[in-house]
Structure 1
Amino acid sequence: MLNKRILTICCLCLTAAFLGFRLVGNNSYNIIFIGDSITEARMVPDASTQGPAAQAATYLTGTGKFKSIHFNNQGRSGFTTLDFLPTENNAYPKVVKAADEFYRDQSATLVFSIMLGTNDSAVKGTHGAPVSPENYKANLKSIADSLLSRYANCKIIINEPLWYSDSTQNGAVYLIEGRNRLLSYVPQIKALVKEYKSLLPGQVFLGDEKAYAYFSKNYLTDMHAEHGPIGTFYLHPNQKGSAALGEFWGKAIAKVLN
């Protein structure tokens, strides 16, 4: 009787150890961040360590819940959803190159974290601007469809774009009209995620929804004061803001991966 009990306990321990090994072995992630100058983080001293993509990876690693986290930053200043379309020869080939390198590692799940919309919302001055809400959704869908087709079992997380001030104008014109258009993109993101939930469960998710409100209240401390034709404007997170944005992204990604 005692020997049988010992054998049962040993079997349970081995099973638990095996399941634990499988959990850890499948708990590695390679993340590609897709976005514009906010993701690229050109306005922080060292984007490779202080940008929001790097900060998100640091947050995820710090949770202790993942075996490994590696990331690649595909943020491109001034780019819109049109620049990332598979039919364009702009950003998409570089995303594919980075993804192909990550995808060779079959021990890790490939994740795409996307935040686009700022430059789409411009009144003029960026590729395709102004991009209508319907076209914005169609462009995101085209990008997502292509990635899902290329990389089986990948996950796509779409974050809501950030707040910017009504006075925003640099090489492009944004202003109040642009920010109102930016807000019209949010329902489109949610509708797209909902569609994928029915078509491809467990692959496309809504990401961060909190950073917009945070920066609308903390822009004086967390965003660069920039100067344009009609005065000071706030568009890009500074070093403090990049850390905050990275944590927002990290928490949204962790929620999906967990």
Structure 2
Amino acid sequence: MRRRTPILKVTAIFCLILLSAFKLQAPKKLNIVFIGDSITQGSNKADLQPSVYTLGYLKSKIPGLLVEESNQGHSGHTTFDFLPGQDDFKGTIQAADAFYKNTDAQLLFSVMLGTNDSAMQGPNGAPVAPEQYAANLKTIADSLLKRYPNCKIILNNPIYYSPNTYNGAMYLQEGLNRLQNYFPQIATLVKSYGSNNPNHVFTGYTEGFDDFRKDYQFALQPEQGKQGTFYLHPNKMGARYLGNKWGEAIYRVISD
């Protein structure tokens, strides 16, 4: 007598097939433009550039993925520097235009700006009020979406810096407080796009402030400033951690 396959087993097999089909939706070609400040820029050493680890993470999660990046991080720069017409925006467009020619690839922008916006004085436009910060981010995102209607944009929260941070620019506790006021602005902006232009603007890595505050002496470089040793830029371990977290956020978006 022929045995019947239990219905639960059939259901499980069917679910696995669906799950496999779902995972195949992730693109096999991905071009990423990273927008940010010195934290994104890293340095001339690849092991201090978070984006390098982001690409490694994505390749490990999506076998056969072809991914390229353009690191548009600029030390000391703010959201004002990336507004349309500014040199940073022109550089971003130049990189994205080259990527956008490849219609087989998903174009994605990973953004982490705000550290320099929060400073008490020094960087362009600083201190930037939370409402103005959100307006600048919206202008940048709107401009990118107008030029690249099929792109995806991920907005990451800025990470922690020590309250005595004071190098060429003055940050201190006032800046740190201001930085945290940017976080709800990012959340509100993403929610707005979710209603008005869905599937284009997403929340990225949001726990960076708490994560790096907890382990800042291990994940950030000690630097000498005008108020002693401060912590602002990731070291090798911090860059790897941040890059992997960016990768997790990107993977969530492109797998949906």
Quote how far apart the aligned CAs of 1:108 are: 0.3
Identity of aligned residues (%): 49
Say which of 70, 77, 80 aligns to 1:79: 77
2:178 match: 181
Change (3 A) 1:25 1:51: closer
1:145 match: 142
CA contact (8 A) 2:119 2:126 kept: yes
* CA RMSD between the two structures: 1.8
Distance in 2 of aligned mates of 1:249 and 1:26: 17
SS for the counterpart of 1:61 is helix
SS for the counterpart of 1:91 is helix
1:33 match: 34
Change (3 A) 1:29 1:35: same
Distance in 1 of aligned mates of 2:71 and 2:174: 29
Q: Deviation string for 1:15-39 (max 9, x for gaps)?
A: x9xx97xx47943210000000000
CA contact (8 A) 2:224 2:230 kept: yes
CA contact (8 A) 1:24 1:67 kept: no
Change (3 A) 1:50 1:121: closer
Q: Which amino acid aligns with 2:58?
A: L
Q: Deviation string for 1:38-87 (max 9, x for gaps)?
A: 00002xx623x541011111100111356322111000000000000003
Q: Deviation string for 1:134-172 (max 9, x for gaps)?
A: 000000000000000001210000000010000000000
Distance in 1 of aligned mates of 2:105 and 2:65: 9
2:4 match: none
Quote how far apart the aligned CAs of 1:185 are: 0.2
2:200 match: 203
The TM-score with structure 1 as length reference comes to 0.87
SS for the counterpart of 1:101 is helix
CA contact (8 A) 1:208 1:248 kept: yes
Say which of 129, 153, 174 aligns to 1:156: 153
Distance in 1 of aligned mates of 2:138 and 2:116: 17
Q: Deviation string for 1:194-245 (max 9, x for gaps)?
A: 1100111100000001222111011111111001111110000011110010
Distance in 1 of aligned mates of 2:209 and 2:134: 19
Change (3 A) 1:231 1:25: closer
Say which of 127, 130, 134 aligns to 2:127: 130
CA contact (8 A) 2:48 2:234 kept: no
Change (3 A) 1:24 1:180: closer
1:46 match: 45
Distance in 2 of aligned mates of 1:160 and 1:167: 20
CA contact (8 A) 1:30 1:70 kept: yes
SS for the counterpart of 2:70 is strand
How many pairs align? 236
CA contact (8 A) 1:36 1:75 kept: yes
Q: Deviation string for 1:169-208 (max 9, x for gaps)?
A: 0000000000000000000000100110011110000000
Distance in 2 of aligned mates of 1:75 and 1:102: 17
Distance in 1 of aligned mates of 2:190 and 2:25: 28
CA contact (8 A) 2:27 2:254 kept: no
Counterparts in 2 of 1:1-258, with a 5 A limit?
23=24, 26-42=27-43, 46-47=45-46, 50-64=48-62, 67-88=65-86, 90-258=87-255
Q: Structure 2: state its 5+ residue gaps.
A: 1-16
The TM-score with structure 2 as length reference comes to 0.88
SS for the counterpart of 2:182 is helix
Show structure 1 runs of 4+ deviating over 2 A.
Answer: 23-27, 64-67
Distance in 2 of aligned mates of 1:190 and 1:233: 29
Q: Which amino acid aligns with 1:237?
A: P
Q: Structure 1: state its 5+ residue gaps.
A: 1-15
CA contact (8 A) 1:60 1:66 kept: no
